[in-house]
Amino acid sequence: MDRPSSPPPSRRTSSGAFALTLLSGLALSACGGSEIQSFIDDIVDDTICGVTNCKESETLKVEDISPRYKVTQDNGLVKIDARLSQSANLITVVRPSGSDRMSASIGALRVDLTDISGRRSDYSAKIADASEEPMVTINFHRGADVYTSTVKMPKPFSVQSPTGTPLIARSSGQFKVQMTQLPSSNMSLLVAAQCRRADGSSFESKGEPLGVALDGAAYRISTLDLDLVLNRASKGIDPANPNTSLVQSCDLSFNWTLNNVGSMAPGLNRYGSIVASRSAAQKASYDARL
């Protein structure tokens, strides 16, 4: 009789490592909550860096560091979010280390960006400013050297027409929206939906990109594109099912976002970016039968 084959060595090693990790964790738990939490944090940190290839900023030249700065404003507060990458590599997370740090300012108000993730990957700060178009400065510091990037917030805007909760019929071919300021090619749109299918089933989509075109003083959405996006989201719920019923009707939430692209500091990597975004919400309903 053939003897059962033993697991491959790599599998035994992996299982052993897991068991050792688990036993170490149980042993640490006897030391108190802070020790076990630190142990868990280290595992999470190692796992994230195993995927994102974390690097310490002080090991890189400044010209290889690509900041991703995002600025938003809400209720009189300007929020600055930042993450560092390496050159064009969006996956690599560069963690500030050594003398490297980040700060932000509006006029005479200045704040340091702080580590909000606890893993030196995501940094943020808030500055009180209720003006319509604040000019925001974000600095990357290396020792005494400062690399200054700037961006201006877009003006506040809202949906001017149509008002209320308009009904969008698939057969209409287009749906036009006018804002309280002139159209811009920097406008983007996400649509979230709660939909019913023709077979009576339902699904929810959190947010799908939807193309928009400039049309005079308005933005134009193709209803055929909207139908395609909604059905693609529907099929994405269960990709293995080739017979997903078609979308019949939906309650829609549009998120219109206007982006201003700022000026990245000379000396930092050219793939870095600084963007200020302002959004407006709009409700609508959709019916594929009309």
Percent of the chain at pLDDT > 90 equals 77
The residue from 152, 174, 199 where one domain ends is 152
What's the domain range around 44?
Answer: 14-52
Q: What secondary structure, in 3-state letters, does 157-172 show? A: CCEEECCCCCEEEHHH
- Same domain (yes/no): 48, 93: no
At 113-162, the pLDDT tens digits run 999 989 899 999 999 999 999 999 999 999 999 999 999 999 999 999 99
Phi, psi for residue 234 in degrees, rounded to 5? -60, -45
Output the pLDDT for position 29.
44
Co-location of 179 and 232 in the same domain? yes
Q: Provide the residue type at 228 as one letter.
A: L
Same-domain pairing of 130 and 228: no
Counting the structural domains of the chain, the total is 3
In a domain, 271, yes or no: no
Whether residues 28 and 126 fall in one domain: no
8 falls within a domain: no
Summarised one tens digit per residue, pLDDT across range 184-243 is 999 999 999 999 999 999 999 999 999 999 999 999 999 999 999 999 999 999 999 889
DSSP string, 53-78: --EEGGGS-GGGEEEEEEEEEETTEE
User: CA–CA separation, 211 vs 232, rounded Å?
Assistant: 14
